[in-house]
Amino acid sequence: MAFFYLSSTKLAIAALLVLLFFTTSLVLCSVHPGHHGRHPHFSSHNYRDALTKSIIFFEGQRSGKLPPNQRITWRRDSALSDGSAVHVDLVGGYYDAGDNVKFGFPMAFTTTMLSWSVIEFGGLMKGELQNARQAIRWATDYLLKTTAYPDTIYVQVGEAVSDHACWERPEDMDTPRNVFKIDKNTPGTEVAAETAAALASASLVFRKSDPTYSKLLARRAIRVFQFADKYRGSYSDGLKNIVCPFYCSYSGYQAFLVQKLQSLHDYKSHADDYICSVIPGTPMSQAQYTPGGLLFTMSDSNMQYVTSTSFLLVTYAKYLTSAHMVVNCGGILVTPKMLRNVAKKQVDYLLGDNPLKMSYMVGYGARYPERIHHRGSSLPSMLVHPTKIQCSSGFSMYNSQNPNPNILVGAVVGGPDQHDDFPDQRSDYEQSEPATYINAALVGSLAYLAHSFGQL
């Protein structure tokens, strides 16, 4: 179980997202290559390959009935009765990380970031655009189910405590699939607003390719946001015993979403302040970096901040370039090129330019994590071992030093510690667990880099 925080990074993303939505016309595939600039030098990394794999990963996280074109073939159907206990169809969606629980908060954030990646850089993705759309639709089809009833959102299927007591494949899952919801009596403004953002951003993704679906998503987004605004309360208060400490909202819901709309200048200021805080060498810089150069925010699932920040930097650089603007960081002018260079260094570190010469994306490069904290990856597949693996039986593999038998292609793990060390131990969930919200923020950056180096 990776920990997902509504941190300053995500608050900055929210501020920038609002700014961009209000100040630009975001039309899918309208990205002009000239807006991005090109790196004139050769890159040692195959960003196109990494992009392909970063999207394939989501197929390994699918819950529900798998389609015939499923590319991660060691997975099978799972959780086909989700929601039946409360007479609601909640089949589908994603397992967020290495366990078998479906959490609405990180799934909504994942969907928002995947959608935003396509909105900004989908025009550069070429053959991967359709795969990215499919990854988004797998989530939105589920989110439409969770929001089918007015003033109600089903935000979780399964219980983390009981789930973590077992080490079993999702196909074998026999832990309780209890369903939890927010409603007008137990509100959850954060998860409701994030769900609305997911639906709204996805509606833009499908606006041209599937106008009917796009309109459905937009209508639902409006209704869900109205619910978030009308019934205000912290998600972590009403469902504290269920969602904490796993997916608590530590920052609470953002005031600018539920109070009077502030000026767009304020959003620009918030975005600039965050940019200045992460760029090394500026008077306002507050970010910490490892000796090898990786942005380091926290020990648990640090790569979520690396990928989110990298996406933020390349996206903001795009709009600064279009507006012929720079960011003033205490008298030091930060150009779009500088933002792109910082983002590239972070992505390159993730892909192998680091002291250990290890890619933190499974299946990419010559050396990558082999013992990731992931139930399905670490246990024999249904194809190899069709009989049920009981709850506690799987721990023999959990405690083994053997590499995982199934490669979860494209999975980005939590990453190294503050000293650039990475033990590659299955039990070390802080560093070895992948998560959908780590990958979702990486997709856009990889698309930009692949295009910039002529790989797309």
The CA-to-CA distance between both ends of the chain, in Å, stands at 34
Give, as one character, the DSSP assignment of residue 165: T
State the catalytic residue, choosing from 96, 424, 430, 451: 424
Residue 27, CA distances (Å) to 16, 20, 212 in order: 17, 12, 16
Task: Based on the residue annotation, tell me whether 433 is a catalytic residue of this protein.
Answer: yes
- Closest by CA to 439, choosing from 48, 31, 126, 135, is 135
Phi, psi of 431 (to 5 degrees): -105, -25
Give the CA radius of gyration of the chain: 21
> Long-range contacts for 280-288 (Cβ within 8 Å, ≥24 apart)?
280/342, 281/332, 282/329, 282/330, 282/332, 282/334, 283/329, 283/330, 283/331, 283/332, 284/329, 284/330, 285/329, 288/418
Task: Report how far residue 338's alpha carbon sits from residue 13's, in angstroms, rounded to the nearest whole number.
Answer: 19
Task: Report how far residue 120's alpha carbon sits from residue 31's, in angstroms, rounded to the nearest whole number.
Answer: 7
State the catalytic residue, choosing from 373, 420, 430, 451: 373
Task: Based on the residue annotation, tell me whether 424 is a catalytic residue of this protein.
Answer: yes
Secondary structure of residue 64 in the 3-state scheme: strand
State the catalytic residue, choosing from 82, 128, 168, 433: 433
Secondary structure of residue 179 in the 3-state scheme: strand
The residues annotated as belonging to the active site are: 373, 424, 433
